[in-house]
Amino acid sequence: MLNRRGMLTALVAAALGAGVGTAPATATVTTPGQGAKRRLPWRNWSGSQQSLPAARVAPASVAELQELIAGANGVVRAVGAGHSFMPLVPTDDTIVSLSRLSGVVNHDPRTLQATLWAGSRLGDIGEPLEELGQALVNMPDIDEQALAGCLATATHGTGVDIGCMSTFIEGLQLVDARGQLVDCDAQRNSQLFDAARVSLGALGIITQVRLQNVAPYRLRRETVWRDFDEILDIADSEADKHRNFEFYYIPFSGMGFTDSHDISTEPVSSTEKIDGNEGVRDLQLARDWLEWSPRLRELVLGSYMKTLGDEITVENSWKNYTSERNVRFNEMEYHLPRENGLQALREVRTALETQHPEVFFPIEVRYVKADDIWLSPFYQRDCCSIAVHRYFEEDFKPYFRTIEPIFRKYNGRPHWGKLNTLTQQDFRKLYPRWDDFAAVRREMDPQGRFLNPYLASLFGAGRGKS
**Residue whose CB is less far from ligand FAD, 12 or 88:** 88
- Cα–Cα nearest to 344, from 252, 408, 419, 396: 408
Residue 451 is a binding residue for ligand FAD (CB under 6 A): no
Per-residue binding letters, 298-337, with ligand FAD (x by CB under 6 A): ---------------------------x------------
Residue 333 bridge partners (DSSP): 387
254 vs 377 by CB, closer to ligand FAD: 377
Q: Find the shortest distance in angstroms from Cβ 165 to ligand FAD.
A: 8
Cα angle value 178/181/187 (rounded, 5°): 125
81 interacts with ligand FAD by CB under 6 A:
yes
Which region, judged by CB under 6 A, interacts with ligand FAD, from 29-37, 140-148, 216-224, 293-301? 140-148
Residue (of 96, 53, 70, 72) closest to 207 by Cα position: 96
Judged by DSSP in three states, 236 sits in: helix
Alpha-carbon distance of 81 to 348, in angstroms, equals 30
Based on CB atoms, which residue is closest to ligand FAD, 86 or 305? Answer: 86
Q: How far apart are CA 45 and CA 32, in angstroms?
A: 16
Whether 305 contacts 255, CB under 8 Å: yes
**Where is 305: in which H helix or E strand?**
helix 294-306
Q: Give the footprint of ligand FAD on residues 101-120 (CB under 6 A).
A: 118
Residue 68 CB, nearest approach to ligand FAD (Å):
13
Q: Is 197 in the site for ligand FAD (CB under 6 A)?
A: no
Between residues 77 and 349, which has the closer beta carbon with respect to ligand FAD? 77
Q: Which of residues 12-71 bind ligand FAD (CB under 6 A)?
A: 45
Rounded distance, CA 414 to CA 397, Å?
16
Considering beta carbons, is residue 252 or 329 the nearer one to ligand FAD?
329
Q: Which residues, 6 or more positions from 71, have their beta carbon under 8 angstroms from its beta carbon?
A: none
Q: Which of 90, 171, 201, 464 binds ligand FAD (CB under 6 A)?
A: 201
- Using CA atoms, how far apart are residues 31 and 41, in angstroms rounded to an integer? 9
User: What is the size of the binding site for ligand FAD (CB under 6 A)?
Assistant: 32
Tell me if 98 contacts ligand FAD by CB under 6 A: yes
Q: Is 163 in the site for ligand FAD (CB under 6 A)?
A: no
State the minimum distance, in angstroms, from the CB of residue 20 to ligand FAD.
Answer: 26
Q: Which long-range contacts (CB under 8 A, 24 or more apart) does 11-20 make?
A: 11/300, 11/303, 11/304, 12/285, 12/286, 12/289, 12/290, 12/300, 15/289, 15/290, 15/296, 15/299, 15/300, 16/289, 16/290, 18/289, 20/285, 20/288, 20/289
Verify binding: residue 88, ligand FAD, rule CB under 6 A.
yes
Enumerate binding residues for ligand FAD (CB under 6 A).
45, 77-84, 88-89, 98, 118, 140-142, 145-146, 148-150, 152-153, 155-156, 200-201, 205-206, 325, 415, 417
